Chain A
Amino acid sequence: MKRVAITGAGVITSFGDSPAKFHSALCNGERAAYRLDHSEAGVSVCRQGGHIGSFEPEQYLKGKPLRPLDRTGRMVAATAKLALENSGWTVEMLRGHDVGLVLGTMFGSVHTISEFDRRGLTEGPSYVSPMDFANTVLNAAAGQTAIWHNLRAINSTIACGATSGLMALGYAADLIRYGSHTALLAGGADEFCFESFCGFDQAGLLCRCNGHSEFPIPFSAQRSGFALGEGAGLLMLEEWNAAVERGASILGEIRGHGSAYDPAGNVECGTETITRAMNSALHDSGILSAEIGCISASGNGSVAADRNEAVAIHAAFNGSGDAVPVTAIKSMVGEALGASGALQAVDLLQTMQTGVLPGIRGLEQPGPEIPALNLCRDKQEITAGFGLINSVGFDGNACSLVIAGASPGL
């Protein structure tokens, strides 16, 4: 079984487009979500939302027309450029070596699909946009990105709801560990749009913003749902020896992962399922829970899921979970769906590198049903060789990933 080195990363977020800027903003307690008042099609949605207003694709993607790509495709292609640069992969190298892409996404872009369909309804089926049709498939962003950057190895798209990004990292890691792939970009993306904003609101999953707390605070006694965010994150994963041979900087390592499904089906993931995912990841990595130095929780303000995850952490860590520092960056990023797991991974790497863990923004009093855990209210200094990331869906999926930070001597 081969080892999976992480040699670079790229992010598109409200906090900036580098892992360092992203991490620094989180440590400063900045937040992406703000109160959005969006009226469309006779419906008003007034909730917290994390739309990246400052994203300018032309900054990253030059030399070819952008019209064929929708916004999600542009975010992914831009993130890929950043990750390739960050890991030292040049255009020349990409000509000579097949690099792949595994992208997690919940919706692809439901906005693109919807706009395409609506134009057919209002203008007639012969006036729909051929270019938009090409982007109505969920693997469009990955395909567009491969075209843009000449990525000719495996090109796969993973859709598992909010766990998509972390599942994509696990999928890609296994391709390297057990197969013959040597270099893969892996991560996730989802864009904020009316269709999903409205959908989540009508499903009663978004934070109520009752004036008591203006934005969702994971694990808090006042939590009432999550804020919808957006973003994109990609890690460059390489077979360890190949990475060393080309002189790559090794930022860390994916040691293992695990996932599970709650057979109660399409409900906020239960404790037992989340515990199984965590134990499965620990077992897969060969790391004991006592060796985990920090946890990036999935907690996003959801009433049931936050509680279930907290109880699961307590169970998986045999009651010693109250020692391991836990953060929940969705307190600032919001729930970025397919991007979440990847953004958590990027931040966890930065955490282990800088020795500073972001706090859970705004957390004062955890809910009484939350077991005693070391929930970090403020940023704190830590030393961690291994970290655990959780991704918990509102629909039964749970996934966990274990990462090792860069160790001295690499």
Chain B
Amino acid sequence: MELETIKTKIKDAIQQVTGVDATGISDSASYIDDLGLDSLAILEIAVAVENHFKFHATDEELSSIRTVEDTIALVKRRMFAEVA
């Protein structure tokens, strides 16, 4: 699973939710402060990513997502956990 694939999928999900081209968004972008998203939108992005990569995050993991980077880290952690 390539890092680029993960990033692309996350940014696709952001684009679906915001309607804005997300390819230029930096990994360190904060959902709330930089992208102006609310908790429902962040959850929507996270669920879309879960659905795509077919893993289940816990409620604690979901509620701790603040940035694009957090989302990438979650996917990597979960993908390797499910494969192992």
Whether A66 is near chain B, meaning CB under 8 Å from some CB there, is yes
User: Which residue of B17, B20, B44, B48 has the most chain A CB atoms within 10 A of its CB atom?
Assistant: B44
* Interface membership of chain A positions 122-138, coded 1 if the CB is closer than 8 angstroms to chain B and 0 otherwise: 01001111110010000
B40 adjacent to A130 (CB under 8 Å)? yes
A127 adjacent to B44 (CB under 8 Å)? no
* Interface membership of chain A positions 99-131, coded 1 if the CB is closer than 8 angstroms to chain B and 0 otherwise: 000000000000000000000000100111111
B50 adjacent to A130 (CB under 8 Å)? no
Whether B19 is near chain A, meaning CB under 8 Å from some CB there, is yes
Whether B18 is near chain A, meaning CB under 8 Å from some CB there, is yes
What size tier do the contact residues of chain B reach? 10 to 19
A67 adjacent to B47 (CB under 8 Å)? no
Whether B9 is near chain A, meaning CB under 8 Å from some CB there, is no
Q: From residue B14, how far is it (CB to closest CB) to chain A in Å?
A: 10
A130 adjacent to B18 (CB under 8 Å)? no
Q: Considering only CB atoms, which chain A residue lies closest to B56 in the complex?
A: A126
A65, A127, A130, A134: which contacts B20 (Cβ < 8 A)? A65
B44 adjacent to A130 (CB under 8 Å)? yes
B51 adjacent to A65 (CB under 8 Å)? no
In the complex, A123 Cα to B50 Cα: how many Å? 11
In the complex, A127 Cα to B17 Cα: how many Å? 15
Residues on A with C-beta less than 8 A from B16 are 67
In the complex, A129 Cα to B19 Cα: how many Å? 16
Residues on A with C-beta less than 8 A from B41 are 65, 67-68, 131
Using A126-B56, A127-B47, A127-B50 as known contacts, say yes or no to A65 and B40 having CB atoms under 8 A apart.
no
A67 adjacent to B19 (CB under 8 Å)? yes
Q: From residue B25, how far is it (CB to closest CB) to chain A in Å?
A: 14
Known: A67-B16, A67-B19, A126-B56. 5 other contacts (CB 8 A): A65-B17, A65-B19, A123-B51, A131-B17, A131-B44
In the assembled complex, 24 residue pairs joining A and B whose CB atoms fall closer than 8 Å, in A order, are: A65-B18, A65-B19, A65-B20, A66-B19, A67-B16, A67-B17, A67-B18, A67-B19, A68-B41, A123-B51, A126-B47, A126-B50, A126-B56, A127-B50, A127-B51, A129-B44, A129-B47, A129-B48, A130-B43, A130-B44, A131-B17, A131-B41, A131-B44, A134-B40
